[in-house]
Amino acid sequence: MSPIFLWTLAFVCSALPALGWILLWRHKDQQDPEPKKMILMAFIFGIFSAFPFFLIRHFWGDALQGIEIWGSVFVFAIAEEFSKAFAVVRLGKHLKIHFNQMVDGIVYATAVGLGFAFAENILYFFISISTFGIGETFWEVVIFRSIGTMLAHSVFSGIFGFFWGYAFVSRHITPLHNFSVSRFWKVLQESVRFHIIFSHILQARPSTRGHEKSDLVREAFLLACIFHVLFNIALQISVFGYTLTVGIVPLLMGGFLFLSHRFLQKQNIDIFHPV
């Protein structure tokens, strides 16, 4: 089989499930849905966000192979989530006239995550075809990465996007001010405790003293990394000879249901107005 055919098949097998997931997330955004061209832009941002990760794997792949499995679990999770989060934040500069709901952050961030997974899957599928041919093993890889991996990337990015969306439009969070060493330790402590997320946002309770938007974005990034690390652990770690792969099911379904529920919240818009 020619390389052109292999790359084309890999592209098609990556594009179709990505399109399906994008349509699913957009369908949930029934109140003032986002423009298709902006979702496409988010998807493209996600594709480009995967390239730095590809370069790391290309130039330092041998060194990464020598890292203990626990190291790779953390390194890859943080690197991927940082690439996607950076793309989401950069995308925000183009969304001011369209971004008017907190859940818009989910729509755009999941599109970025799916763009990342799309680019990643093309490479994985091409390698799989080249190694195993078009057989049972290849289709197993396609099914798992089309369902499990794509859902994982959209959920982890969507969680980041939800809280980033809050920071993007909320009037209860103050803009970024000067950053000092003493404030660094205070922010670090609160970020690890997810103080803004658990004490205010998830309880639909405005902050009484104000928080900087960068603090919330930092907490959202850490939370996405934790979910991604748990996902990697479930795929790569064995306990007493038993794999933990089954653990990804409640993890992904829980994240999916959490994000789906956000679209149904009546407080989606009201929460932004001062009380």
How does pLDDT run across 11-32, given as a tens digit for each residue?
Answer: 999 999 999 999 999 898 887 7
Residue 208: pLDDT band (50, 70, 90) is: low
What pLDDT shows up at residue 73? 81
What pLDDT shows up at residue 275? 32
Tokens 């370069």 identify what position?
55
Count the neighbouring beta carbons within 10 Å of the beta carbon of residue 86: 15
Contact 93, 61 (CB under 8 A): no
Contact 10, 17 (CB under 8 A): no
What pLDDT shows up at residue 191? 67
What pLDDT shows up at residue 65? 58
Mean pLDDT of the region 89-116: 87
Residue 52: pLDDT band (50, 70, 90) is: confident
Q: Give the tokens for residue 205.
A: 């309770």
Window from 43-52, 99-108, 143-152 with minimum mean pLDDT: 99-108
What pLDDT shows up at residue 115? 96
Main-chain phi, psi angles of 37, to 5 degrees? -65, -30
**Coil, strand or helix at 174:** strand
**Coil, strand or helix at 117:** helix
Contact 113, 153 (CB under 8 A): yes
What pLDDT shows up at residue 135? 84
What pLDDT shows up at residue 206? 62
Q: Is 153 exposed, middle or buried, given 0-12, 13-18 or 19+ CB atoms closer than 10 A?
A: buried
Cα separation, 73 vs 204, whole angstroms? 33
Beta bridge partners of 174: 212
Helices (H) and strands (E) in the chain, counts: 12, 2
The chain-wide mean pLDDT, for the chain, equals 81
Q: What is the CA radius of gyration of the chain?
A: 19
Contact 166, 201 (CB under 8 A): yes
Instruction: Give the number of C-alpha atoms closer than 13 A to the C-alpha of residue 233, restricted to the C-beta side.
Output: 10
Residue 172: pLDDT band (50, 70, 90) is: low
* Most confident listed range (41-45, 55-59, 72-76, 175-179): 41-45
* Most confident listed range (39-48, 75-84, 200-209, 240-249): 39-48
pLDDT of residue 55 exceeding 70: yes
Kindly provide the residue ranges of all beta strands, DSSP E only, lying in the chain, ordered along the sequence: 238-239, 242-243
Mean pLDDT of the region 222-235: 92
pLDDT of residue 270 exceeding 50: no
Is the pLDDT higher at 17 or at 2?
17
What pLDDT shows up at residue 9? 92
Cα separation, 35 vs 272, whole angstroms? 22
Window from 5-19, 54-68, 242-256 with minimum mean pLDDT: 54-68
pLDDT of residue 241 exceeding 60: yes
Q: What is the pTM of this model?
A: 0.86
Cα separation, 167 vs 214, whole angstroms? 8
pLDDT of residue 261 exceeding 60: yes
**CA separation, residue 211 to residues 34, 43, 94 (Å):** 28, 30, 24
DSSP string for 9-74: HHHHHHHHHHHHHHHHHHHH--SSPPPHHHHHHHHHHHHHHHHHHHHHHHHSHHHHHTS-HHHHHH
